[in-house]
Structure 1
Amino acid sequence: MILEKTDLPLEAAILLIAGMTMLITGALLFPVSAGLLPYYENGLYGLLLVMFALQMITLGKTPFGDMRRSRLLLAAGVLIAAVGIVACFIPDVLGRLPRMLLFLCFGPGGFLLLLQMCLAKDKLRTWVKYGGILRHLIPACGAVYVLSMLIALLLWKQSLLTTPATAMVLLIYGVAIVYLAFVLRKVYGMYPDAEKPGSGGVGISTDQAMILLMGIFMLLLGMLLIPVNFGLLPFSGSAQLGLLMVIFAVQMLASGNTPLGPFPRSWLMISLGLLFASLGIVSCIIPEILVSQLTVLVGVLNILGGVITLWKIGIPRLRRSEGPDGPASRALTGLFAAQLTLNVLTILFGASMLVSNLIPGPVIGVILAANGCVLLYLLHILTVLDKMQTDAGIPL
């Protein structure tokens, strides 16, 4: 049963992790309010902004409604992700910007989504007409949108409720989001066409969108670590590890991709993804509580993943004879070079996490920035290869 293949749409996976974020935050706020645990507010804000950005980049779903996946929307998603990543890494460097962005996403965003649900022909009226599982979307979406507006009020005026009362609101909000995620999973199972993003615009796959996000993550992390190592900026290693674990979790839930390579999407993979997400969420919100454990875990995963991938791409390359030179051949050579460089850098990063002072801090920053650049170059090569296949039918 646990190894049985299953399907979890990307939107449901993102919502599930967002719901878990609210549930875990709500649960942790009780000991935080009693002074038993520290609390890193910017870690939560940054994580939520990255989740909003993920929906925009991968699905064309914004806090204000569905849009065509245009270059402008992709750029906006990348910008919001960058703000979230920096907010996680560098405490208070962006001031009130993360909170105000979240206020706009939850407040006006929640109101517009509720308005669209009530007025759009393909939403409330259709759900009532066809009934069945579609009727469950009415309370699920309605609760999420209304509670989003309440969350916006709490962001605007944090003293509106006591900390325990805020925790209860977050718990209820988390339950509503998780309920919506499970309803959408059933809806997309019955109506697969409803899951497809809007036509037109930038055609990048889910895996390519995750490469884009990971590239931005590594590039920003590397660039920020250089001034951090010279004592010019504060740094939250706990939130950095937590956000990385959550990105791993999204990949595992949505496509079965892990740091060790792709696996069939089974209940076991989903369970591991939820475990990774839980650890990452806690690490983002509660400073230093899981740093040592996650450092070892991420270090080992990076080393093993790099070695395994080098083996997978190296052996076929050695056995294959050189084909005729051409655009496809040159693109594949660039793809191999990017994968080779990327995995060597990944192994170096993993080793630096396990052996302290193995690599000087500023050099680690350069390695990570290079890792991000190679990921973005890899994304470019993949889009070029996809275009070749689509436009000319070139066999790759």
Structure 2
Amino acid sequence: MWKSFLEKTEFLFEDADLYFDVVVLLVAGMAVTLTGLLLFPVYSGLIPYYENGVYGLLLFLFGLQTVSLGRTPAGDMRRTKAVLVLGVTVAAVGIVACFVPDVFTLVPKVVLIICLCMGGLLQLLQMLVSKDKLQAWLGYGGIFLYLAPACGAVYVFSMLAGLLVWEQGLFSASLTAISVLVYGSSIFVVAFLLQKIYRAYPQAAKASGDDFGLDADKAMLLLTGVFMLILGVLLVPVSFGRLPFSGSAQLGLLMVIFSIQMLASGGTPVGPFHRTWLVILFGFVFAALGIVSCVVPNVLVPFLTLLVGLLNLVGGAAGLVKIVVSAVKRMKEADAVPTVLVHLSITQFVMNLVSILFGTSMLISNLIPGWIVGVILTANGCVLLYLMRLLIRIDRLRSDIMEAEYGK
């Protein structure tokens, strides 16, 4: 019996090959689909609903796609500074929308309508007239023939979702929930088709180019840093009762960020792992918990507070131990360490220390005053952004060294 069970679950320990844009689409599909499912009990009055949490989560995903892939609501673009600023701005609007209920509602609503309606329309038109899309897909045949109607459905239902955000009473409650479900399902279909295409044609999975060396991992670092900065800054007035705050959506969005890191690279809050299908499974669980916490306020707060606190505490402690062991090893070897690596170690040390403080503050309420937690998180955001800069610098140095050696 156990042997049979182990044989059936052996695939969980095999390396996964999900592509990053597929990961983002899967999380977006989960967000929309779970929202559609939850709308049934919401409209029945069985559970509460946090509108800003849904808007904020979707905007964050739009921003993530723009920053990491250059895939904007208006279509694929080269990741110039303007495109990156646009993506970070959209993500930041989404983050604030999640955190601040009631006060900050109009701006995220308008931005989301633009992303859904105008974005869906522009991408539908691009698909129809671009030689690289519909015409090319029809010429390729095979699985590409399914991509056209799937993408078309996503674009059409994206526009419909935008109209529903604009006018919530446009359809009946049941029809609204069903429309959202169909939209989410169409996103899943596109993700599935793209995964199959990328496996068959890996060159098709190349991200939009940039001049910054900002790959998917660093894009996540950038947006996580922005998340922590905004959270830290907002916690100061929140702690003095000057601003409302949704702890549920804050935890939910953080769980979604964790999940994307796990799905994209195997990076977990307690350290990096091989990106096996087991890690992918946990990533989807994290995503589901985060999405539900964004949509339904307060229900998962006690559990997620404990979970996020423990993850930060364990991850920070493990990171500190790793850094200390590595430093001791280098001291024994007495090798010269490049300055940039010293800065990297110091940055990681500070980041892990802040993670421990944050985790402790979540596990033991009122241990640290709220405004001090805000300062700690602001510092954490700055450290994450500096870490991203260091990693880009290290990648460039490594590239220069390889080019020099190749030139010899």
Q: 2:175 aligns with which of 165, 171, 175?
A: 165
Matched, 1:248 2:245: no
Q: CA deviation at 1:377?
A: 1.1
Residue 101 (structure 2) pairs with residue 106 (structure 1): no
Which one-letter code corresponds to 1:210 in the other structure?
A: M
**Contact 2:52–2:105 (8 Å) recurs in 1:** no
**Sequence identity (%):** 54
Q: State the one-letter code of the partner of 1:357.
A: N
CA distance in 1, matches of 2:294, 2:252: 5
CA contact (8 A) 1:30 1:167 kept: yes
Written as runs of structure 1 = structure 2, the 5 A alignment for 1:36-75 is 36-75=46-85
Match runs of 1:373-388 below 5 Å: 373-388=382-397
Map 1:161-310; keep pairs closer than 5 Å: 161-310=171-320
Partner of 1:149: 159
**CA distance in structure 1 between the partners assigned to 2:100 and 2:210 by the alignment:** 37
**Structure 1 residue 336 corresponds to structure 2 residue 337:** no
What TM-score, normalized by structure 2, do the two folds share?
Answer: 0.94
User: In structure 2, the residue corresponding to 1:320 is in which secondary structure?
Assistant: helix
Give me the whole-angstrom Cα distance separating, in 2, the residues matched to 1:27 and 1:199. Answer: 37
In the TM superposition, what whole-angstrom CA distance separates every residue of 1:334-381 from its partner, at most 9, and x where no partner exists?
A: 111100000000001001111111111111111111111111111111
What SS does the aligned partner of 1:340 have?
A: helix
Of 339, 344, 349, the match for 2:358: 349
How many Å apart are 1:392 and its aligned residue? 4.4
Equivalent position of 1:81 in the other structure: 91
Kept in 2, the 8 Å contact 1:43–1:284? The answer is yes
Q: Deviations over 1:58-105 (max 9, x none)?
A: 101001100001111111111111110000001133231111111111
Q: Note if 1:34 corresponds to 2:44.
A: yes
In the alignment, which residue of structure 1 is the partner of 2:134?
A: 124
Give me the whole-angstrom Cα distance separating, in 2, the residues matched to 1:314 and 1:385: 21
Task: List runs of 5+ in structure 1 lacking aligned partners.
Answer: none
Moved more, 40-49 or 123-132: 123-132
Cα-to-partner distance string for 1:10-34 (whole Å, 9 max, x where unaligned)? 1111111111111111111111111
Q: What is the deviation of 1:330?
A: 1.3
In 2, distance between residues paired with 1:282 and 1:259? 20
Aligned-partner Cα distance in 2 for 1:155–1:81: 18
Deviations along 1:216-269, whole A, 9 cap, x unmatched? 111110110010000000000000000000000111111111101111122211
Return the alpha-carbon distance in structure 2 between the equivalents of residues 192 and 281 of structure 1.
30
Note the aligned Cα RMSD (angstroms).
Answer: 1.3
**Amino acid aligned to 1:369:** T
How far apart, CA to CA, are the structure 2 residues paired with 1:31 and 1:110?
28
Alignment-mate amino acid for residue 368 of structure 1: L
1: CA distance between counterparts of 2:250 and 2:275?
26
2:377 aligns with 368
Give the structure-1-normalised TM-score. Answer: 0.96
Distance, in Å, in 2 between the alignment partners of 1:250 and 1:117 is 27
- The residue identity in structure 2 corresponding to 1:338 is T
Does the 8 Å contact 1:68/1:201 carry over to 2? no
Count of aligned pairs between the two proteins: 392
Using the TM superposition, name which of 261-270 and 5-14 deviates more: 261-270
Aligned to 1:390: 399
